[in-house]
Amino acid sequence: MSLISKMKDVEMPLRCETPMSWGERMMAGDKLALLNDHAHLEKKAGLNALEMLNRWPEPVPPEAWVQLMCGVAKDEVEHLAIVCRILHKRGGALSKSHRNPYAKGLRDLIRKGVASSQTGLVDRLMVSSLIELRSCERFAVLGECADDDKELGKLYQGLWASEHGHYKTFLNMCYQVPGVSKREVDERWNWFLDEEAELLGRQGQYMGMHSGI
């Protein structure tokens, strides 16, 4: 069974799907640029988990908050090491600077202000969940399109297999945030899913995990 077929059996509630043509374009382009972009995303995901732990050191609930955030950071750092190893092996290097307009666009949707600290946490968790969800979907597409590059095919297939449920870790925590009802979380999640699809549609085409389709 192909990764795409397996993905259809997994709950991935994205409002739009990434076409195979996107993955084919990535595999036909500058793979060092793609790997560099991917490495930065893994690094930022790890930093994001630690930054949330710093901003909300001990919310009660979510349960096991510290353990969960530390676990996420550990996983992302391990993936960063794997991607950087392949990048360096192929003659590339991790760049000092990196831009991700997709992630910035999602972060711009987070409600700000002291009065909305709990809703801000919900939004931050949802943004993290969405980035994990979209990234995982794209791992599956890349894994399917990497027939001529067994190393990258193995990389992306392995990442999909290990991460396709990670978005739920962040989403499930939203329902434990004090003072925020299940209805509010559901409505906000559906709003974010709609916004994410529109945001992705506005992305330009470049060698990167969150580039436009």
| Under 8 Å between Cβ of 148 and 27 | yes
What's the half-sphere exposure (Cβ side, CA atoms, 13 Å) at 159? 29
* Number of C-beta neighbours around residue 132 at 10 A: 22
Please say if the pLDDT value at position 34 is more than 60. Answer: yes
Assigned domain for 110 exists: yes
Assigned domain for 212 exists: no
Q: At residue 100, what is the residue type?
A: N
Task: Please report which confidence band the pLDDT of residue 52 belongs to, taking 50, 70 and 90 as the band edges.
Answer: confident
Assigned domain for 13 exists: no
Task: Please report which confidence band the pLDDT of residue 3 belongs to, taking 50, 70 and 90 as the band edges.
Answer: low
Say how far apart CA 149 and CA 164 lie, in whole Å: 22
Assigned domain for 210 exists: no
Task: Locate 20 and state its tokens.
Answer: 């195979």
Please say if the pLDDT value at position 115 is more than 80. Answer: no
Question: Which is more confident, 7 or 186?
Answer: 186
Task: Locate 195 and state its tokens.
Answer: 């916004």
Which residue is associated with the tokens 């382009």? Answer: 29
Assigned domain for 63 exists: yes
- Domain range for 95: 22-200
Average pLDDT on 144-162 reads: 92
The tally of domains found in the chain comes to 1
Assigned domain for 1 exists: no
Least confident interval from 2-16, 67-81, 127-141, 150-164: 2-16
Task: Locate 129 and state its tokens.
Answer: 């969940």
User: Model confidence over 125-134: pLDDT tens digits?
Assistant: 999 999 999 9
Q: Across all residues in the chain, what is the average pLDDT?
A: 90
User: Model confidence over 92-102: pLDDT tens digits?
Assistant: 999 999 999 99
pTM of the model: 0.91
Q: Is 68 left (phi over 0), alpha (psi -120 to 50) or beta?
A: alpha
Question: Which is more confident, 115 or 133?
Answer: 133
Assigned domain for 10 exists: no
The CA-based angle 22-8-38, given to 5 degrees, is 40
| CATH code for the domain in which residue 86 is found | 1.20.1260.10
* Three-state secondary-structure class, residue 197: helix
| Under 8 Å between Cβ of 212 and 200 | yes
Assigned domain for 208 exists: no
